[in-house]
Amino acid sequence: MELEESGRKVLEVLVSHLCKVAPGKPETYLGYKFIHHALNLRYLGPTWGESLKNQGLGVLAGWTCKNKLPGITGIIINTDSYRPGKGYFNLFGKDEEDYSWWTDEVKKSKNFDWSPYIYEEFNLKPVDLSAPNREDVTISRIIRDSKLSVKVKTFNNCECQICGLALEMPAGKKYAEAHHIQPLGEPHGGPDVIENMICVCPNHHAMLDYGAIELVTENITSKNGHVISAQFIKYHNENVYWP
């Protein structure tokens, strides 16, 4: 059951993220481009999915299928369609619309002990790790001005300003997260002001935290007078984004 190094490296990233994965909610999964940045892989084209397939994803997917292990590669998705490539389903002989099987594989992946197949869990560090007033819970969260966060989410109706996704929660409620574009804390020193905040879904929040996505002003929706300052977008693209 030996796993080649390229596949093992991808597996280590996925295992480190499993604690944040909610089965059936692809917005909590990881994008192909994100894995590239996490592993410092080159873009080989013609798409991010094909590029990753040739740099470990294909090896890992084939290995899990051959050894009848959970299809953990199903938590790597196209962030436009919020689903894995059709090759994921084809490999296991499943229909592309078999979402229940996909969700079950993700559940199995979360409950499976992957430790015998990895050297250590991949160390994913957000760019604002050193921000002040951080408290340690199950995962690290920064204590921020909650009133501003609520304001940003209310302005945008809890819809991601990048992809438009709004997470439907019980009792008709919606869920979104507020991200500081120029991160708080050292070395960035971003201000805790509404002009430095963007309303996003959990998946795009993670991509922004880890510098896996560039912000394009024209592609950011804005509602009810919430204006994001161009200086903070410029800062993110020049100092946080890792092309």
Q: Residue 136 forms beta bridges with which residues?
A: 140
Q: Could you tell me which residue, 132 or 83, shows the higher pLDDT?
A: 83
What was the pLDDT predicted at 40? Answer: 85
With the C-alpha atoms ordered 222, 227, 229, 230, is the resulting torsion angle positive or negative? positive
**pLDDT tens sequence across 75-93:** 999 988 889 999 999 999 9
Is the pLDDT reported for residue 189 higher than 50? yes
Pairing of strands 30-31, 76-77: parallel
Question: Of how many residues is the chain composed?
Answer: 243
What was the pLDDT predicted at 124? Answer: 55
* Highest-confidence segment of 98-112, 118-132, 139-153, 214-228: 98-112
Q: Which two tokens stand for residue 243?
A: 């092309």
Q: Could you tell me which residue, 172 or 129, shows the higher pLDDT?
A: 172
* Residue 92: CA count within 13 A, CB half-sphere: 24
Is the pLDDT reported for residue 25 higher than 50? yes
What was the pLDDT predicted at 193? Answer: 92
**Residue corresponding to tokens 């090896």:** 59
The band of 138, judged by pLDDT with boundaries at 50, 70 and 90, is: very low
CA dist 130 and 112 (Å) reads 32
Mean pLDDT of the region 199-211: 90
**pLDDT tens sequence across 32-42:** 988 998 888 99
Query: Can you give the pTM of this predicted structure?
Result: 0.56
Mean pLDDT of the region 61-85: 93
Closest CA to 118 of 46, 21, 11: 11
Q: Are 236 and 182 in contact (CB under 8 A)?
A: yes
Is the pLDDT reported for residue 136 higher than 70? no
Mean pLDDT of the region 145-158: 83
Q: Which two tokens stand for residue 152?
A: 């940003």
What was the pLDDT predicted at 226? Answer: 86
Contacts of 152 (CB under 8 A, 6+ apart): 178, 194, 197, 198, 199, 226
What was the pLDDT predicted at 144? Answer: 46
What was the pLDDT predicted at 130? Answer: 45
Mean pLDDT of the region 164-172: 84
The band of 204, judged by pLDDT with boundaries at 50, 70 and 90, is: very high
What was the pLDDT predicted at 115? Answer: 87
